Amino acid sequence: MVAPPGLEAVVDASGRIEPWKLDEARQVWGATSRHVRANPGDTAAAERLYFLTLALSNVLVSARNDLGLRALHEGALEVLPLPRHRQVIRGHLARGAAKAGDLDSARGWLEGCDPASSELEMDSAFRISQAFIATATGDANALGHLLGADEATVPIVDSMDPIAIVLRAHAFERLGNLAGASATLSRFMSSRGGTAAVIETIVASLPPAWGVCAQSLAGARQDHRQQLAARAAGGAGVFGGAFLIAGLLPAGLLLPLHFATGELPLSLALLFSGLSLVPFGGVGLSSIRTARRQRLVAESGLSGRGRVVQVASTGVKVNHVPMMRVVVQTSVPGHPSLQASVTKRMSPHLAAALMGQELPIVWHPAYPDDVVLEI
């Protein structure tokens, strides 16, 4: 999310509230709420209150503070004047009630909404909330009608797209199209960096009684890991193959020349071939081994998070793009935190932007020094 002007002191560049700024963010929310109540025509202040409500919602969801989340949304709904803001907040309240099993309250929160808004954010909030109710009641036909066959049929605002993907796949599964459900999930997992972990988190956050994607998630996970493995190994494999060919090329040219014509002494042919094969072939074989290891990590490793602590150039460029070594501090459930690294082609600008970020990773205990980034 991109914060509106005036919130730079409490949210970072990605719109998140860091833990040490949480109390200050709550104070700003309270002051802004009082201001909007007294000045409902101040739309800029209303935008700040709305954004802070969403940012604080993310914190409360992570903390599993359902009561605090409901209080925050009800407090915002009391003062927010703009229809777009109010519909999105009503959607949050309806989805929270549906997850708690209170479907009457969920429907009640949606009674104040526009069911056919031309504004994408409003329409998405209403559709996704209705989809929660349909999922809770087991009405797969209604769920499929609300979300359509794909993103092109029923557009959803980007921030809610992963939820729509999960529920759309669940509709396919409940209607007997298990292959379509798995394909819907795996396509989204592999087409956008890091969304595999997002999909897993969404499924885990929904009530177990709903059985969301109970059968299709495993197949999607396996398909995604295979695609991730091919992508992770591809760069190092191609790089290694190119260096290995470069190392073997002089031998492929000079040795036939010696045996065919005798004009080039065998000692010189072997010397020049060795001078090329040792450095280039060594780098090539090392890269090929790295590619195989990356494939294994991606296919059968454990999902986790990694905070980038160092990014440095390896001194090598492929097609004029530097090979950068990214070092992360791992966080994998059930395993101690340690530093591991991966080599990727990326621009120095992108590499610098990764510093300090927390990224989704795949890590394997058999290769503790290596990670695969899901980006």
Question: Could you read off the pLDDT of 59-76 as tens digits, one per residue?
Answer: 998 888 989 999 999 999
Share of the chain above pLDDT 90, in %: 50
Q: Give the pLDDT score at 164.
A: 96
pTM score = 0.74
Residue 41: pLDDT above 90? yes
Most confident of 6-10, 14-18, 125-129, 342-346: 125-129
Q: Which residue has tokens 């999607």?
A: 220
Query: pLDDT of 231-278, one tens digit each?
Result: 766 555 455 556 556 555 655 655 566 566 666 666 655 555 555 554
**What is the pLDDT at residue 112?**
86
- DSSP secondary structure of 136-195: HHT-HHHHHHHH-SSTTTS---GGGHHHHHHHHHHHHHHTT-HHHHHHHHHHHHHHSTTH
Of 33, 35, 28, 30, which Cα lies nearest the Cα of 9? 28
The answer on pLDDT for 31 being more than 70 is yes
N-to-C CA span, the chain: 18
> Which 3 state secondary structure label does DSSP give 359?
strand
Cα-based distances in Å from 128 to 57, 88, 93, 146, 194 = 17, 10, 12, 8, 22
Tokens of 235: 């760069």
Residue 79 has pLDDT above 80, yes or no: yes
